[in-house]
Structure 1
């Protein structure tokens, strides 16, 4: 029989850095090393984004340009073209990775993500309706936010238990996702060719023509949600052992799940508002982070870093692989995510889970 002391030792194989009496940050060496590697790769991806291609800033001039000495073409690239786009990519990827980690921790299911529970499809449907019924009046991003909110309300009502039951949450989300996809496809079919092409790029997820306003939006969402998510991390960690043990340890699993899902929805909605419904980053980033460390736990910070790296690399491909004619970044994440999802399903089937 597992005692309270045994359970605490099970979830506490980490050193703790303390700042005063109230702040205590659990640290694992594997997590720190993984974070450093991810940060290094992210920095390399950022440098490549700013320097590669015909419009790129020369590597020798990049430090000075970033320090405020950019002029002419370099200033245009950093201030109007690639600077905002890179900043949005990092923030959006981090938001999606963190959102996916929260969802998967709550559902204790590697398939748990905003993609699965219908948020992305609802956002796409909302964007499509705004573009079809209110062209030039309601911005597509606003329509996407309303669509995402409507999808989550529908999922909340459909489960009968709100966000507390992970199994019902996923099942209801799949149904809502199907409805949202059907609406989007109908609108694309019904719209004029030129407008449909623009909408298609958005609903696949795009970082083209991003502005500093978009960057500010997603980073404000991150700064608002990251602290409560960090405070929730310990309870989510304990929840990995099951609701009964978590309840015995005072982790309040029901309220923890509800708060975690709400935070994940806010993160996903923020990402959708600036870049459209980019698929599979929220699904794959937490699993990659988990496999890099091979440790149990939600890995919130590492999932955010992994999501940022995935999206920056995908956007780098979208900008530099010219033979694909500047495809939306969401097409690349769907390709990677589709391969990953297939591998995950095969693995779960072999384990007898499916």
Structure 2
């Protein structure tokens, strides 16, 4: 009697491949397609947190419009937003709080995008428009434009020119571009001081009659904005948001290193240049309507990364985080008795300065400074 034959199952495809220890297969991210040529990977966690941030912005916006002695009652608020009311409600919505709220959301979003792009390009959490003097340069550009060509050169153009000049000076002064955190911080402080000196000279000697107004603007204030400012920041966002989203996939590769990114088709140098240009336009647009609001561009991308746990620029989450930081800060300076009348930049500067100190200590512990 012959020995029984052992029947074996056919091996599964890939069963004989060696498995790397500790390797876990992750499910592919869902894609959001825009037309036939653009497909953006979406993290579920990032999407959930973006919705949470959006809900927080809407809740803070309702509080901004309804709180205080001049607030619009909640029962009247939906009708006031849908119609064109008159009287006190129309005055509050059209003159006092409506433009201020829109500018706060728009400028915060623009600063968040600017910081996210610059930090991704430099692979450095300290690489933000605040630290390298872009905000101060944009403010100096605004002041010089209003002095030399009042009514001829638009304010946003002056802001972009000043920010671009500050960025170029920092790039040259470091001797190594944006790759060294310590040199970046030192050069940025120097450029910001130079831009501040130019601004203070103009304020103190040439534009004395407008000195108080300019001082409030250069601190970062949205107390006297109008719908014209809201339209300006809206146009800026229409440019920088699609541009940032288009750059995001390549920036994710750039974070892996130049050689690997180039081998994967990211075209590192054009990507960096494009991201820096978009970052400058976003920061300059925010400065042109709200002044150099301190440290929103530094903190918003870092908070967004910690919330979403994702790599890359995080354009949407950084924009929403920046908008939330701005509307909350503006609500505080409007309603808190101890902050009554303060420019919003004073509050964001106090919080952001403490956060900058934490980042500097963290970078020093890691041996990067």
Q: Give TM-score scaled by structure 1 length.
A: 0.88
- What are the ranges of 5 or more consecutive residues in structure 1 without an aligned counterpart? 1-8
**1:68-119 Cα distance to aligned partner (Å, 9 max, x none):** 1533111111112111111111111000000100000000000111112221
CA distance in 1, matches of 2:162, 2:34: 42
Which residue, 112, 115, 124 being the options, matches 1:97?
Answer: 112
CA distance in 1, matches of 2:153, 2:311: 44
Residues 291, 228 of structure 1: alpha-carbon distance in 2 compared, 3 angstrom cutoff: same
- What are the ranges of 5 or more consecutive residues in structure 2 without an aligned counterpart? 1-23
Which residue, 337, 340, 346 being the options, matches 2:355?
Answer: 340
* Bigger Cα displacement from structure 2, 39-48 vs 187-196: 187-196
Corresponding position: 1:46 with 2:71: no
Q: Contact 1:141/1:276 (CA < 8 Å) preserved in 2?
A: no
* Bigger Cα displacement from structure 2, 212-221 vs 167-176: 167-176
Match of 2:30 in 1: 15
Q: Contact 1:123/1:272 (CA < 8 Å) preserved in 2?
A: yes
- Report the Cα offset of residue 19 of structure 1: 4.8
Which residue, 86, 92, 115 being the options, matches 2:101?
Answer: 86
Q: Contact 2:142/2:288 (CA < 8 Å) preserved in 1?
A: no
CA distance in 2, matches of 1:240, 1:266: 22
Residues 44, 259 of structure 1: alpha-carbon distance in 2 compared, 3 angstrom cutoff: same
Please say which structure displays the higher CA radius of gyration. 2
1:14 is paired with a residue of what secondary structure? coil
**1:208-237 Cα distance to aligned partner (Å, 9 max, x none):** 121111111111111112112111100001
Q: Contact 2:43/2:310 (CA < 8 Å) preserved in 1?
A: no
Match of 1:59 in 2: 74
Which residue, 296, 314, 317 being the options, matches 2:329?
Answer: 314
Match of 1:204 in 2: 219
CA distance in 1, matches of 2:150, 2:338: 32
Count of matched residue pairs: 344
**1:7-45 Cα distance to aligned partner (Å, 9 max, x none):** xx9999522133553231211111011001100100011
Match of 2:314 in 1: 299
- 1:138-149 paired onto structure 2 within 5 Å: 144-149=159-164
- 1:216-231 paired onto structure 2 within 5 Å: 216-231=231-246
Match of 2:18 in 1: none
CA distance in 2, matches of 1:138, 1:22: 38
CA distance in 1, matches of 2:232, 2:25: 39
Match of 1:24 in 2: 39
CA distance in 2, matches of 1:20, 1:142: 33
**1:167-205 Cα distance to aligned partner (Å, 9 max, x none):** 476665443222112223444454687633222111011
Residues 22, 346 of structure 1: alpha-carbon distance in 2 compared, 3 angstrom cutoff: same
Q: Contact 1:238/1:246 (CA < 8 Å) preserved in 2?
A: yes
- 1:244-255 paired onto structure 2 within 5 Å: 244-255=259-270
* CA RMSD, Structure 1 to Structure 2 (Å): 2.7
2:97 is paired with a residue of what secondary structure? helix
Normalized per residue, the structure richer in helix is 1
